[in-house]
Amino acid sequence: MYNLYENETQSQKNRGFMEKSVKKRFQTYLRNRGNTVTHQRNIILDEIMKKKSHFDIDSFVSTINRKGRDVSRATVYRTIQQLEDAGIVRKIDFDKGYANYEIIPGKEHHEHLVCSECGKIIEFSDKSFEKRIRAIAECNEFTMEHHSVEIFGKCSECREKHRKESLKKEKI
Ligand SMILES: [Zn+2]
Ligand SMILES: [Zn+2]
C-alpha cells in the first residue's frame, strides 16, 4: 500500500497526450448522442483536467466564474453528468451531503480514507485488495462494472489532537 501523491510525477508530454485523448473521447461520446462539444463544455473539461484532487460542483462553478468565465451551474452540472457517463469522471460520496468528483484518466484506480473530522482524504491503491473485490464479485456471480471504497474515520492528526485533549482532561 502506498500514497498515490508520491507517485504523481507525470511528464508534461504525457499530460498533453492524455488531455488530447480525453478530449477526443468526450467528442466521440457527444457525437454518438447527436451533441457537439460547445465552447462552454470545452472550458469545463479543461478546468477539470487541471484539477489534481476531488472537487464538488458548487466550488468548481465559483472557481470558473472567478476566472471571468461565464458558465452556468446548470451547464456544469449537465456536462459533469455527461463526463461521468463517458467514463471520464467518477462520482464519489464523502458523506458530505453533496457529491464529489474526480477525473479517471491519467490516475491509477484508488480508494479513499476520509477523515470525518477535518475532511482530509487519503488515497490508497492496493493490488491484493482489488483482487479480493474481483473475487467477491465473481463468487456471487456478479458482473462488476465499477466500485469505489470509502473508509470513514479519524486521520492521524485528529487522533493526536484527541489524545492530547484527553491527557489534559486526565490532569485536571
Ligand atoms: Zn482529520
Ligand atoms: Zn481520489
CATH code, domain carrying 22 = 1.10.10.10
For the stretch 71-113, pLDDT in tens is 999 999 999 999 999 999 999 999 889 999 999 998 889 999 9
Number of folded domains that form the chain: 2
- Give the residue, 121 or 69, on which the prediction is more confident: 121
- Identify the weakest region by mean pLDDT among 1-10, 137-146, 147-156: 1-10
Q: How far is the CA of 99 from the centre of ligand 2 (A)?
A: 13
Gyration radius of the chain's alpha carbons: 19
- What sign does the dihedral 27-32-37-40 (CA atoms) show? negative
**How far away, in angstroms, is 147 Cα from ligand 1 center?**
24
Ligand nearest to the CA of 149: 2
**Within this chain, do residues 14 and 95 fall inside the same structural domain, yes or no?**
yes
Tell me, yes or no, whether 140 and 117 share the same domain.
yes
CA of 33 to the centre of ligand 2 (A): 29
Domain extent for 161: 109-172
For the segment 27-37, the average pLDDT, to the nearest whole number, is: 93
| CATH number assigned to the domain comprising residue 169 | 3.30.1490.190
Q: What is the pTM of this model?
A: 0.81
Q: Ligand 2 mean position to 148 CA, how many Å?
A: 9
**CA of 158 relative to ligand 1 center, distance in Å:** 4
Give CA–CA dist 143/134, Å, rounded: 9
Of 1-5, 158-162, 165-169, highest mean pLDDT = 158-162
Are the C-beta atoms of residues 105 and 22 closer than 8 Å to each other? yes
| CA 161 to centroid of ligand 1, rounded, Å | 9
Residue 2 lies in a domain: no
Cα four-point dihedral sign 122, 136, 91, 115: negative
Instruction: Specify whether 14 is located in the same domain as 97.
Output: yes
Instruction: Say what the pLDDT of residue 170 is.
Output: 82
Q: How much distance in Å is there from the Cα of 56 to the middle of ligand 1?
A: 19
- The number of the ligand nearest the C-alpha atom of 115 reads 1
